[in-house]
Amino acid sequence: MSTKEKLLALVKATSGIYSGEKLAQELQVSRTAVWKAIRELEKAGYRFEHTANGYRYLPSDVLEASEVLSGLPENLAVEITESSESTMKDAKLAFAAGASAPRLFITETQQGGHGRFGRPFFSPKGQGIYMTLLLAPNQSFDELPQYTLLAAVAVCRAIEELTDEDCQIKWVNDIYLHGKKLVGILSEATSDFESGTIASVSIGMGINFSIPQSDFPKELQAKATSLFAYETSTITRNQLIQKVWQHFFALVENLPNMDYLEEYRKRSFVLGKKVSFTLQKQHYQGVATAITDEGQLVVQTDTGLITLNSGEISLESIQ
């Protein structure tokens, strides 16, 4: 370990103040080396309180596997990169190369992040959470849970637990805050045709964390927001990431209990509202009346009930 890595481990282990002299003694380096290590860590994004008696470590918004893994399954691996084309692609390539699962891929920024139907996802560096969880469920299609719905409920629970913000879910995969999109979720699966089972599932998630509202592109400012769009963040990205997957794995562990579906419905941004969509080149309008146990949206139109699958349409408007 380098001097700065050793120093970081020391100061993170206590909430108290470490004097420069004590750090130098424990690390067996000079006071100048301690000062340089502190400066390097601060440049990397770590925060310290400088006092007359020394240094106190402050919660820092630097992505770290050790902080993310706290309270999560022991067999979960975490990979963090500075940049990625997309964490969904990282997960697919890793699985094809024989990487173990579960495995969580996190990056500071994405060049090719996308949602459903290939829509691009705005991914500024250091101000969002861009991640994909790789699973190898080895279950049949019929046994496979609705991972997108589970992830949506987990995100809402995590955000409310850490910030008290009340989130809603736009069917099927978007999380809304104050009427604007906050989170996008995308689940993709690969199948093993010989065994008839799902070989892998990738659950991608983009969370707008601390993007100032004015920094969103003009075409998105009225549609999207971030968790801390108007104030300094009160939590770290590590804390939110850890809490999201803590709730997710707890929900998975509780299956086949379907209580999460009722929570998903209660948080719905669309139930009871007028929606419009295009299905098989035909335009429809109607009222969203129900979400089935399979995660389908039921819409009452002038021509009767229509049940929509998440992979075939996108809601064009909600009123």
Same domain membership, residue 26 and residue 96:
no
Both tokens of 272, joined, read: 């009871």
Same domain membership, residue 105 and residue 16:
no
Interhelix angle for 147-163 vs 259-266, to 10°? 60
Q: How far apart are CA 114 and CA 86, in angstroms?
A: 8
Neighbours of 75 (CB within 10 A): 9
Same domain membership, residue 88 and residue 44:
no
Same domain membership, residue 139 and residue 16:
no
Give me the CATH number covering residue 301.
2.30.30.100
Same domain membership, residue 173 and residue 78:
yes
Same domain membership, residue 150 and residue 102:
yes
Same domain membership, residue 293 and residue 253:
no
Residue 259: φ, ψ to 5°: -60, -30
Per-residue pLDDT in tens (0 to 9) along the chain, 319 residues:
889 999 999 998 888 999 999 999 999 999 999 999 999 999 888 889 999 999 999 888 899 998 899 889 999 999 999 999 999 999 999 999 999 999 999 999 988 655 444 455 567 788 999 999 999 987 777 667 789 999 999 999 999 999 989 999 998 889 999 999 999 999 998 887 677 788 899 999 999 999 999 988 888 889 899 999 999 899 999 999 999 999 999 999 998 888 999 999 999 989 998 988 888 888 888 999 999 988 889 999 998 999 988 755 566 666 6
Give me the CATH number covering residue 251.
3.30.930.10
Count of domains for the chain: 3
Give me the CATH number covering residue 11.
1.10.10.10
Same domain membership, residue 299 and residue 187:
no
Same domain membership, residue 243 and residue 304:
no
Same domain membership, residue 148 and residue 72:
yes
Element (H, E) at 147: helix 147-163
Of 222, 241, 266, the domain-final residue: 266
Q: How far apart are CA 128 and CA 122, in angstroms?
A: 9
DSSP 275-310: EEEEETTEEEEEEEEEE-TTSPEEEEETTEEEEE-T
pLDDT at 261: 94
Same domain membership, residue 279 and residue 215:
no
> What residues contact 269, with CB distance under 8 A and at least 6 apart?
168, 169, 170, 171, 174, 176, 318
pTM score:
0.86
Domain that holds residue 39: 3-58
Same domain membership, residue 129 and residue 233:
yes
Which amino acid belongs to residue 249? Answer: F
Q: Is the dihedral of CA 235, 247, 112, 181 positive or negative?
A: negative
pLDDT at 61: 85
